[in-house]
Amino acid sequence: MSDPIRILMCAPEHYDVDYVINPWMEGNVHKSSRDRAADQWHDLHHIIKEHAIVDLVEPVKGWPDMVFTANAGLVLGDQVVLSRFLHPERQGEEPYFKAWFEANGYTVHECPPDLPFEGAGDALFDREGRWLWAGYGFRTELDSHPLIAQWLDIEVLSLRLVDNRFYHLDTCFCPLKGGYLLYYPPAFDAYSNHLIEERVPAAKRIAIAEADAVNFACNAVNVEDVVIMNRISPELQAAIEGAGFQVRQTPLNEFLKAGGAAKCLTLRTTEPILPDVHAAVSVQSRTVQMRGHLLDAGILNNALDLVVERGGSFKVLNFDLGTERHSTSLAQVRVSAPDSEVMAEIMMELIRMGAVERPDDEQNAQLEDVPLVGVAPDDFYVTTIYPTEVRINDQWVRVGNQRMDGAIAVRHTEAGPVATCKLLRDLELGEQVVVGTQGLRTVRKPAEREQRTSKQEFSFMGSGVSSERRVELVVEQIAWDLRRIRDQGGKVVVTAGPVVIHTGGSQHLSHLIRNGYVQALLGGNAIAVHDIEQALMGTSLGVDMKQGVPVSGGHRHHLKTINTVRRYGSIAQTVEAGVLTKGVMYECVKQHVPFCLAGSIRDDGPLPDTEMDLLQAQGEYARLLEGADMVLMLSTMLHSIGVGNMTPAGVKMVCVDINPAVVTKLSDRGSIESIGVVTDVGLFLSLLVQQLERLTNPYAVMA
């Protein structure tokens, strides 16, 4: 006969909802009936006594949540990890529970101060004793999991809770005998669900619906073949019984008002110890260092938020706050993640934000051979737009050809290792590729405080907050830059969509090209077709550009245009033949401004110049972007996204679109050099040309 099962409870003498520390308590302060609560607790006590020995801890006045003994601690054998409550409202319970455990012969382990762990509310043994499921995200800190693994010598599987109604693991997760699991999957993030599915076969998972979940169906006490719980739906009852259990329902709605039910009101103090189960934990930690205007520029907030949003946790080990307006701060942060996969995700983001390893624990990057032509090893590091360095043979090597969404290819030459950003399809045998996130850093200049404000969106036609004057101010700034770049022999690349033509921007863009402000043009078939249609017939997609009305038969104009260019062989030949005499494409030909028109599935024609081989077109875009100082993105989301991916940080980007969502998407590169302008692109170009004219000939306008 095995040892009897023991369960710890605490009578509800002082139970009430006195404060709000979870969503269930909201609106329920002092709304529970003490008598009904007492009756419900006694009924539960009665049922449990049929199946286990119940020990009682003395309730204490002033600690109303002490009834929830699940949160006293976590017991295995004669060891207990005492709860370290997150909320001050419950911290006063700790000494009473500690006293009970000590009086009953347990060895008590305590988490360090500021490392919350809420006992068996957030830690549930697999009922076969194989491992411990531990929750985090609301009450318990991830960093407590390795301590528990060590103290209790058991494998800990970390699960992240994401729905604050299910703030403790035992509110949405209940391991049952025989390896069964009753749980509410939406309460967990994707990684956790994946882990659950890895450990518990489908046939043993009983996933419940929201209606049962909000009745705390998972907050059940399983003793051998009996499952004791609050009221549940007949369907769920059938499912649990179908798995071979006997269901005992007992109303506990008075306790639901505080966010608890059957399981919360109990703590099992006898758990099976398997001799061959030992400590194991997949929680990982790494310490990183960040320098810059960490507070003023919000970098530290962003970094720490990101860690938590991605499912990790952090501890700021050191924070050296710069004291003067211009001094930078230095922070050392220990980052924890439930496993190496989540850690890699977090580290990629932190590296992008400029986090580096502490000087003493810098490591070399991990390199793996290219397995197949055009294929990277799994876990390859995905590049960003930021200048990157990679540590090889204890030296930091700058990565060449920086672009987004590539891999870092490494070649070992006589002169030393050479690292280059490459598209997957360009990887060659004999090259190595950086995998993981070790030995990588991005080189960021600490944002100068003044500059930080320049990354804003300026709305013109859009919301009421911004003024025309604001758009004029941005246009002034852009005109100034355009002038400077032109006069210094720099490079401006324009990527433009057909809207530029429809909104009457053709003449202005033509002006920019004619006057040497544009060094390359990137677009698709459409912009060229509509530009030439306008030059030849005065319409754009059949709309008269002077009158603004569709002309009869106009919808065929663009096809006639395409046909004309096809007859002459190319846009340049149409110009040479004296047929095409104005417009954007005409100016490109005349000024020898190279262009690339990338084809797509919807292209009519296409024009002979349109590159329908997309790989070719991508290559050509990248070539034309090389060495650019500025990119003007004019109302084409598709081509602009492509361009954005190919362009490293440091290149000034101006994105103009009438749709704020497009502007946000494109200008949100986390780099200060991008400016978004929400406005009509035709209007923008006309303002820009006006401003450039004003710079060239200041007195003409003032007269």
Pick the piece of the chain touching ligand ARG (CB under 6 A) from 63-71, 280-288, 616-624, 673-681.
63-71
Interaxial angle between packed helices 584-591 and 525-537, expressed in degrees from 0 to 180 and rounded to the nearest 10: 100
The answer to whether the CB of 599 falls within 8 A of the CB of 606 is: yes
CA triple 580-531-638, angle to 5 deg: 140
Q: In whole angstroms, how close is the CB of 65 to ligand ARG at the nearest point?
A: 4
Question: Among residues 45, 145, 168, 502, which one is catalytic?
Answer: 168
* Position 16 contacts ligand ARG (CB under 6 A): no
Question: Among residues 10, 172, 174, 264, which one is catalytic?
Answer: 264
Annotated active-site residue 264? The verdict is: yes
Question: Cβ contacts of residue 638 below 8 Å, gap of 6+?
Answer: 497, 524, 600
Q: Considering beta carbons, is residue 8 or 520 the nearer one to ligand ARG?
A: 8
* Position 121 contacts ligand ARG (CB under 6 A): yes
DSSP states along 653-693:
EEEEES-HHHHHHHH-SS-TTEEEEES-HHHHHHHHHHHHH
Pick the piece of the chain touching ligand ARG (CB under 6 A) from 254-262, 390-398, 483-491, 494-502.
254-262
Query: Rounded distance, CA 650 to CA 628, Å?
Result: 10
The answer to whether the CB of 29 falls within 8 A of the CB of 20 is: yes
* Position 599 contacts ligand ARG (CB under 6 A): no
Q: In whole angstroms, how close is the CB of 85 to ligand ARG at the nearest point?
A: 8
* Position 498 contacts ligand ARG (CB under 6 A): no
Which of 7, 8, 48, 70 touches ligand ARG (CB under 6 A)? 70
Residue 680 to residues 302, 443, 548, 683, 687, Cα–Cα distance (Å):
32, 36, 16, 5, 11
What b/e readout covers 77-101, taking b as 16+ CB neighbours within 10 angstroms?
eebbbbbbbbeebbeebbebbbebb
Q: Considering beta carbons, is residue 263 or 508 the nearer one to ligand ARG?
A: 263
Which of 9, 52, 75, 90 touches ligand ARG (CB under 6 A)? 90
Q: In whole angstroms, how close is the CB of 51 to ligand ARG at the nearest point?
A: 19
* Position 558 contacts ligand ARG (CB under 6 A): no
Q: In whole angstroms, how close is the CB of 43 to ligand ARG at the nearest point?
A: 18
* Position 93 contacts ligand ARG (CB under 6 A): no
Q: In whole angstroms, how close is the CB of 69 to ligand ARG at the nearest point?
A: 9
The answer to whether the CB of 118 falls within 8 A of the CB of 140 is: yes
User: Tokens 């006997």 — which residue?
Assistant: 246
- Which ranges of 404-487 does DSSP label H, i.e. alpha helix? 468-487
Query: Rounded distance, CA 90 to CA 170, Å?
Result: 18
Q: In whole angstroms, how close is the CB of 80 to ligand ARG at the nearest point?
A: 16
Which of 73, 116, 137, 259 touches ligand ARG (CB under 6 A)? 259
The answer to whether the CB of 419 falls within 8 A of the CB of 682 is: no
Annotated active-site residue 592? The verdict is: no
Pairing of strands 267-268, 6-9: antiparallel
Helix (H, G, I), strand (E, B) or coil at 338: coil
Q: Considering beta carbons, is residue 176 or 303 the nearer one to ligand ARG?
A: 176
Which of 132, 258, 350, 666 touches ligand ARG (CB under 6 A)? 258
Q: In whole angstroms, how close is the CB of 171 to ligand ARG at the nearest point?
A: 5
Q: Considering beta carbons, is residue 69 or 503 the nearer one to ligand ARG?
A: 69
The answer to whether the CB of 240 falls within 8 A of the CB of 182 is: yes
Size of the site for ligand ARG (CB under 6 A): 16
* Position 32 contacts ligand ARG (CB under 6 A): no
Q: In whole angstroms, how close is the CB of 167 to ligand ARG at the nearest point?
A: 7
Q: Considering beta carbons, is residue 214 or 579 the nearer one to ligand ARG?
A: 214
Pairing of strands 205-207, 221-223: unpaired
Q: In whole angstroms, how close is the CB of 255 to ligand ARG at the nearest point?
A: 8
Query: Rounded distance, CA 514 to CA 512, Å?
Result: 6
* Position 21 contacts ligand ARG (CB under 6 A): yes
Which of 12, 73, 137, 260 touches ligand ARG (CB under 6 A)? 260
Q: In what order do the strands lie in the sheet with 155-160?
A: 123-125, 132-136, 155-160, 280-281
Q: Considering beta carbons, is residue 174 or 666 the nearer one to ligand ARG?
A: 174
Secondary structure letter of residue 455 according to DSSP: -
Q: Considering beta carbons, is residue 171 or 222 the nearer one to ligand ARG?
A: 171
Q: Considering beta carbons, is residue 184 or 684 the nearer one to ligand ARG?
A: 184
Cα 576 to its chain centre, rounded Å, is 52
Q: Considering beta carbons, is residue 48 or 634 the nearer one to ligand ARG?
A: 48
HSE-up (13 A, CA, CB side) for residue 191: 21
The answer to whether the CB of 119 falls within 8 A of the CB of 145 is: no
Secondary structure letter of residue 570 according to DSSP: S
Secondary structure letter of residue 530 according to DSSP: H
Query: Rounded distance, CA 302 to CA 472, Å?
Result: 31
Residue in 163, 175, 162, 165 with CA at minimum distance from that of residue 120: 175
Q: Considering beta carbons, is residue 71 or 561 the nearer one to ligand ARG?
A: 71
Q: In whole angstroms, how close is the CB of 192 to ligand ARG at the nearest point?
A: 17
* Position 598 contacts ligand ARG (CB under 6 A): no
* Position 257 contacts ligand ARG (CB under 6 A): no
* Closest residue to bound ligand ARG by CB: 121
Binding marks (x or -) toward ligand ARG, 145..174, rule CB under 6 A?
A: -----------------------x-xx---
* Position 264 contacts ligand ARG (CB under 6 A): yes
Which of 15, 68, 97, 595 touches ligand ARG (CB under 6 A)? 68
Residues designated as active site: 168, 264
Binding site for ligand ARG (CB under 6 A): 21-22, 25, 65, 68, 70-71, 90, 121, 168, 170-171, 258-260, 264
